[in-house]
Structures are given as structure tokens and as C-alpha cells.
Structure 1
Amino acid sequence: MSILPSTQTKTEALQQPGNPAAFAPSTALGQKDFLLLLTTQMMNQDPTQPMDPTAFVSDLTQMSQLEATAQLNQSVMAMTAGFQNLQVMQASSMIGKNVVAKGEVFSHQAGEASTIRLNTSEPLKDAKLVITNGSGVVRELSYPSLARGDTSISWDGKNAAGLDMTSGEYQLVAYGYNAEGDIKSVNSYVGTSVRSVSVEPDGSMMLTLATGERVKMDAVREIS
């Protein structure tokens, strides 16, 4: 029995489509190709008008700098991608954690006091903290003055009539007046938990809180 392929088999094998890309020359011009071009140019130069060696060195230096820049860009991109992956892994550990973050919405538990932290960049007087829900104003707390920096405020969970409010989400608005009499808003920081973490197109980390608010990572003041 013959082990040689038949004529028909040989013909079919020759007619099988190949992979042109596997044999296609590289389209990238590297330093080796650049040196080959320069060497060929020197071998075929006009003896009466030889090449300027200064121009040769300058071209070679520019080629080396271009390759170094391309390699540096690739390294920076790889480092950036690795850093973002590390950020995601670190931020994922925050899911379910209790945090104190900048926001205007907080969760209140009936029968318990809620602690709110106010922050102002300058001393204020006649400050007010207005607590509201879906039905309107629940309670308005007044303070003769607020010192610059953080001030902890405790709400006993009662409305203006002294009745305990039900559990749920409430909104905050805080403001006061500076020495010139201008009204100034006051930043509020509330306790909540982290529901999820996401990465924005610009690489920044965003936290979705239990209240539904989305804040940046740098808005978090405490983690527990």
C-alpha cells in the first residue's frame, strides 16, 4: 500500500488558503532598519558631496529618543492600568463598611439620636440646620455661632412638636452668616454605609452610599 498522497490530495493542499499575515513584512521602522538605510545611503553617496556626519549623528539621536519615548509611554500606560486595578481592589473592601461622608442625605433610626457633622471654613453666626423629609420641614435647629472647622450636632429624632420621627431618609440644609453679614452654606457630613464602588472614565473612584447618593472617595472622612 502506497503512503504517498494522491495527485488530487496534493492539488487540494496547494489550493488551501494560507495566512498572508504570517509572512507579511513588519510595517514598523525600527532602529535597525534606520541604520540599514543610513549605511546604504553612505555606500551609494556621491564621493564629491559626502554626507555630513553631524546630520547622521543627529538623525540617529532623534531615532533613539523616539524609541525611548514610545517605550516610556507603554510603561506609563501599563503602570496606570495596574494602579487603577489596585484602586478597584482596595475600594471593593469598603462595600458594606460604615463611613462618614460629605452629603445632604442621611438614614435615621426611630428612637435613636442622629449625629451630624458640620464643617465651615470661617466662623459663622446665627447658624441653622434644617432637617426635612418628603413631607416638608421636620425640625429646624438654631446655633448662635459655629466655629471654623468641624462641629458635631446631635438630632434627637423628634420633630418640632416633640414627636418621634419614623425611620427613613432625611435631608439636610445648613447655613449661617459670616462677619460681613453674607449668608454662607455649611458642609454636612453624615454617617451611612457603602453600597457599591465604581470607577469613572477619568479614573476617580465613586462610592454609592446606602442613601443612594454618589460621592467621590475623597469625600469620606471616616471608615469603620
Structure 2
Amino acid sequence: MTTVTSATATATATATAGSTGKTGTGIGADFNTFLGLLTTQLKNQDPTKAMDTQEMTNQLVQFASVEQQISMNGNLDKLIGLQQAAQLTAAAPLMGKVVEVASDRISLQGGTGTLRLPAAGAASLARVTVLDAAGRTLKQQDVTLGTTATDWVWDGRNAAGQRQPDGGYRIVVAGRDKDGNPQEITANVVARATAAERASGGDLKLVLGGVAVGFDAVRSLGQ
């Protein structure tokens, strides 16, 4: 029985190597490969201890199951690719539209960047800090929260008045109550959608100038 198993594995490896680079080949699609596996297995049986019929049937069923799974995985990959392409196409109407997204990076477009702060609650004040790629503070400002959402607009200048190039900048928003105690606060970024792309990992991204976010980060659509 050990000899049969070893020979079957060798035949399987040979068949696999021979089918490398071919599309749609395998046990179910290539009858010659199937016959090769079956013949090799029969040749290597011990004549005095022929393989049990049920055991052979089980192996043939396993061969078919593996082939079916390979085919199913291929079809699933195609389906995912088509779905992602459809999502990219569906994102076309967003291009040029103002979008509110959850992000820790503000998009500086045309010299301005907008951050949407929530209405006052436990926090009545928000300290907004804009950082560059090296983590240096470019701008910091305290904003009093109103009864409705407040848009804070950055003019693209640092504390020294120097204009920064368009792109994505990290933001940190810290909430404070009327007594100055820290309070949790969530702010969103408002920017104009400029592109939609598929990242290297297959994830779809909505591009807002120098900031890219997943479509699940979209919170609202504007004009």
C-alpha cells in the first residue's frame, strides 16, 4: 500500500509539472492526465495485494474534489475581479464631488483643507493640530464647537505663514470640556474626489487629492 501511495504522488507531481502554464488543464479537463494517474497506480500495485476497490474509488473521488475546488477558486477570482471593476465604474459619478470621509489625514487641495468638527457635546472645544510627514507641527488652533457641525478650514500655511504644497497632512484633534478636561471627539475630512483606484492588495480606494481612503470611510456626499 505504501508503494502505491508513493507512485501516485510521483504521478501527480509529474502531471502537475506538465500542466504548468496551461489554462483550464487538470484531472477533470485533461483525460490523458487522468489515465496516466490511474495507469501508474495500477502498475505499482502488489499483484498479491491488489488495492481494495473501495480505496481506489475514494482516491478517484479525492482527485475529482481537488479539481472541482481549483475550478471553483478560479471562478471566484474572476467574480471578485468583475465586482471590483463594477465598483470602480460605479465610483465615476463621485469624481469632482465634495465628499466627507473618516480619515486622520487632511487633504490640501488648491491651497485649502477642510475638517468637519462635530457639534458640541461632552467636548465644547477642539484643538486641531496639523503635522507634516516628519511629525512636525505646522498649524495648531483651538476651535469652539457650535450647536451644529463646524467646518474648520486650513489655509495651507504653517505657523510662520509659509504656504505648504498640496497633498495629505496628518491631523490630530483633541477635545476639551468647559473645564479643560480631555474629551473624546471625532472629526471628518471634507475634500473633493479626484480618482478611484485599486490598491496593490486588491482593495478599492477613493482618492481625495493627496489622501486615499477605503469606500467604507465615506460618511456623506456633497455637491
TM-score, normalised via structure 1 length: 0.57
Aligned to 2:126: 128
After TM superposition, the structure 1 = structure 2 runs for residues 163-174 of structure 1, keeping only pairs within 5 Å, are 173-174=172-173
CA positional deviation for 1:223: 1.8
Matched residue, 1:102: 102
Change (3 A) 1:185 1:36: same
Task: Give the AA of the match of 1:81.
Answer: G
Change (3 A) 1:118 1:203: farther
Q: Distance in 1 between matches of 2:197 and 2:184?
A: 29
2:206 is equivalent to residue 215 of structure 1: no
The residue identity in structure 1 corresponding to 2:18 is T
Identify the residue that residue 140 of structure 1 maps to in structure 2: 142
1:58-97 paired onto structure 2 within 5 Å: 58-97=58-97
Match of 2:191 in 1: 192
Q: Counterpart of 1:94 in structure 2: which amino acid? A: L
Match of 1:30 in 2: 27
Residues 35 and 52 of structure 1: CA distance in aligned 2, closer, same or farther (over 3 Å): farther
Over 3 Å counting, the alpha-carbon distance change for 1:55 and 1:177 in structure 2 is same
Q: Give the 3 Å change call, closer, same or farther, for CA 69–106 of structure 1 in structure 2.
A: closer
In 2, distance between residues paired with 1:128 and 1:55?
Answer: 72
CA distance in 1 between partners of 2:130 and 2:43 (Å): 86
Pair 1:83–1:61, CA change in 2 (3 A):
same
Deviation of residue 89 (structure 1)?
Answer: 1.3
Gaps of 5+ in 1: 1-25, 158-167
Q: CA deviation at 1:199?
A: 1.2
Please identify which structure carries the higher strand content: 1
Cα distance, 1:156 vs. partner? 9.5
Contact map agreement 1:119 1:186 (CA 8 A) in 2: no
User: How much has 1:130 moved relative to structure 2?
Assistant: 3.6
Equivalent residue letter for 1:140? D
Relative to structure 1, the CA distance from residue 175 to residue 135 in structure 2 (aligned partners, 3 Å threshold; closer, same or farther) is: closer
Asked whether the equivalents of residues 123 and 184 of structure 2 are also in contact (C-alpha less than 8 Å), the reply is no
**Residue 198 (structure 1) shift:** 1.7
Residue 149 of structure 2: which of 143, 147, 152 is its match? 152
Offset at 1:129? 4.0
Measure how far apart 1:76 and its partner are: 1.0
Contact 1:129 1:172 in 2 (8 A): no
Question: Contact 1:172 / 1:188 at 8 angstroms: preserved in 2?
Answer: no
Identity among equivalent positions (%) equals 24
Q: How many pairs are equivalent? A: 177
The one-letter code sitting in structure 2 at the alignment partner of 1:209 is L
